[in-house]
Amino acid sequence: MSQRIRGVLAPVVTPFKADLSPDRQRFIAHCKWLLSQNCGLAVFGTNSEANSLSLEERSLLLDTLIAAGIDPSRVMPGTGCCSITETVKLTAQAVKHGCVGVLMLPPFYYKGLSEEGLYRYFSEVVQRVGDARLRIYLYHIPPVAVVGITTSLVERLLKAYPDTIAGMKDSSGDWNNTKIFLDAFVRVGPTVRAARAHSSDAGSDPETDTQPGFDVFVGSESFLLANMRNGGAGTISATANLNPAAIHKLYAKLDPLRQRTLQHNETARLDLEGQQARLNVVREVFDRKYPMIAALKQAIAIYRNDPEWARVRPPLVELTAEQAKMLAAELKAISFTIR
Amino acid sequence: MSQRIRGVLAPVVTPFKADLSPDRQRFIAHCKWLLSQNCGLAVFGTNSEANSLSLEERSLLLDTLIAAGIDPSRVMPGTGCCSITETVKLTAQAVKHGCVGVLMLPPFYYKGLSEEGLYRYFSEVVQRVGDARLRIYLYHIPPVAVVGITTSLVERLLKAYPDTIAGMKDSSGDWNNTKIFLDAFVRVGPTVRAARAHSSDAGSDPETDTQPGFDVFVGSESFLLANMRNGGAGTISATANLNPAAIHKLYAKLDPLRQRTLQHNETARLDLEGQQARLNVVREVFDRKYPMIAALKQAIAIYRNDPEWARVRPPLVELTAEQAKMLAAELKAISFTIR
């Protein structure tokens, strides 16, 4: 876990067989396709229905993934459970496999938790895993987990575990919130710093060069341009399960090495904004009127011509026939296709 | 699981050792004391910090409890996890041990679930456990789980599994909600029916005699009198960990066999209301200004003179020294004591 991951990752949707067990074959095939599209694997995320899987099922699936030859430096499994003991078990397994990091939900059953309680929880997890290779990305998704990640919690954790706390995923859906974290914790990289040196508000600090940095991933590609312009690290987005190449294409133009040459160029700016707008058209189909997970799977079922993909595990339900038809029509209307 | 449980149950608080592992010895001792006070054992409830325990820890603790000779007909473990597979595993274990029922949370990670999705979830659990002895008490605790239990869900489940769906615990803290469930699902028992036959709004239906009934437990003893007057089955209450005898004393006067003789007697009515008021005085100390679980454990630590009891597992935190002192003073002021 030395080289940090950046760019586009998909919270990989989990296919199920008729008996609702994870369909390993389709899962591995989907993971390999995502990797071929420059898309990292945030397996066991919210959109993976990971919280509808047992710890044992997640553990077996992770072993299967690595055994299938998937490069662990492209894998960031979700490992946050409600209990310290389970979170530690799954996290330690991910570290042992050499996964590039873990995406960690806060414990999400008890509500109204104190910052002290959350700090103790994460602190206990870090200490119990006790491995210098561990990289934790804190997972902020208040619309689902309700329990969230605050800047003061991150501040305490970064102070105590600067090498382990590697970043966060912000799935609040609120750009203002992402901006607060970016402003508070992102130590600017050499390119951004070099660029700033040319502007009036330079303030470059050589010390930040040695800081490991805090990498902010946005939970939707609709914030990708804004995130990268503000020093973010990429996106971990549901729709990257369908549209990874186009999302990566925008990301690639925004990575720090290219950012300098692009930022003062009006044509380049318009091009970036056009690309972002085209990504948004796809995203909005899913954000607007369908339950996200069922819709993602239905779309894969359509484009792979494989109805098995549409299956979800209760308490989720698949799209109705009516919804499925409407989704297909909408995707056709915007000329969307899986490449 | 043939004879239904009624009365007072405690969501048994789980003591932890310094390494945060469950303290089996103190746990068993507390369970035995509760039983001696006519209090049933709703182990692995919200107040048990069950959602801060792994499935494996709950499973081992249940085995330990039964191995210690605890009567399973007095045990209603919480078995609702986020995944069907884990819920089935723990529920099947409880049935195998002969537990009188299970208290089942809905899957609580994903939000905005459809009734159909929740129905499929519970239905799948019932079918996978596949044991006629299974008795499920649905656990409605929206302030914590957010995902709740609706009357239309109960209606569908009761229709499909009339013998298995045994009742619910309502921890909404909203008496109006409890009343809605009581009015909708409680088939009146013989005594209430006999009493009603003497009143003008009789409407006794001989067929209901053979119905298994839907047993509503309130999540706080502050609603015990109201619940029993409306055909409820008892209470599963946090503070039953401390005050079981007094709560049971009120319950015993309210059980259906006694209800008939008491209901038209003014002195008896005033006595019941006085008892309820005295229970409320204790309850209010805990409801008012402390985090419930930490306060329960602190109170046990005080009365057992055993500071080990005060420990909680992160993400919860124990009371501050200041809070602990204030709690002790408040309990002293109302002359509360553990008997």
Q: For tokens 């010390």, name the residue.
A: A207
Q: What is the pLDDT of residue A130?
A: 98
Distance of CA A190 to the CA centre of its chain: 24
**B232–chain A Cβ distance below 8 A for any pair:** no
* pLDDT tens sequence across B66-86: 999 999 999 999 999 999 999
- Give the minimum alpha-carbon distance from B93 to chain A in angstroms, rounded to a whole number: 16
**B16–chain A Cβ distance below 8 A for any pair:** no
Q: What is the pLDDT of residue B289?
A: 86
Q: What is the pLDDT of residue A23?
A: 98
Q: What is the pLDDT of residue B149?
A: 98
* Interchain contact, A314 vs B143, CB within 8 Å: no
**B287–chain A Cβ distance below 8 A for any pair:** no
- Long-range contacts of B270-279, Cβ-Cβ distance < 8 Å, separation of 24 or more: B272/B225, B273/B225, B275/B225, B275/B246, B275/B249, B275/B250, B276/B222, B276/B224, B276/B225, B276/B250, B278/B246, B279/B221, B279/B222, B279/B224, B279/B243, B279/B246, B279/B247, B279/B250
* pLDDT tens sequence across B233-253: 999 999 999 999 999 999 999
* Interchain contact, A114 vs B317, CB within 8 Å: yes
The answer to whether residues A117 and B316 touch, using CB atoms and an 8 Å cutoff, is yes
Which residues in chain B have Cβ-Cβ distances shorter than 8 Å to A54? 55, 81, 83, 85-86, 89
Q: ipTM for the complex?
A: 0.92
Confidence of residue B212 (pLDDT cuts 50, 70, 90): low
Give mean pLDDT, residues B46-59: 98
Helices (H), chain B: 24-36, 55-67, 84-96, 115-129, 142-145, 151-160, 175-185, 190-198, 224-229, 244-254, 256-263, 266-289, 292-303, 321-333
CB pairs under 8 A between A and B: 123
* Interchain contact, A83 vs B51, CB within 8 Å: yes
Answer yes or no: is pLDDT of B192 > 80: no
Answer yes or no: is pLDDT of A257 > 70: no
- Give the minimum alpha-carbon distance from A323 to chain B in angstroms, rounded to a whole number: 15
* Interchain contact, B144 vs A111, CB within 8 Å: yes
C-beta atoms surrounding B252 within 10 Å: 13
**B56–chain A Cβ distance below 8 A for any pair:** yes
The answer to whether residues A94 and A74 touch, using CB atoms and an 8 Å cutoff, is no
> What are the strands of the beta sheet with B234-236, ordered from one edge?
B39-41, B7-10, B234-236, B215-218, B165-170, B136-140, B102-104
Torsional class of A53: left (φ above 0), alpha (ψ -120 to 50), beta (otherwise) = beta
* Interchain contact, A51 vs B117, CB within 8 Å: no
Distance of CA B20 to the CA centre of its chain: 25
Answer yes or no: is pLDDT of A195 > 60: no
Burial of A291 (0-12, 13-18, 19+ CB in 10 A): buried
Answer yes or no: is pLDDT of B154 > 80: yes
**A191–chain B Cβ distance below 8 A for any pair:** no
- Give the minimum alpha-carbon distance from B267 to chain A in angstroms, rounded to a whole number: 43
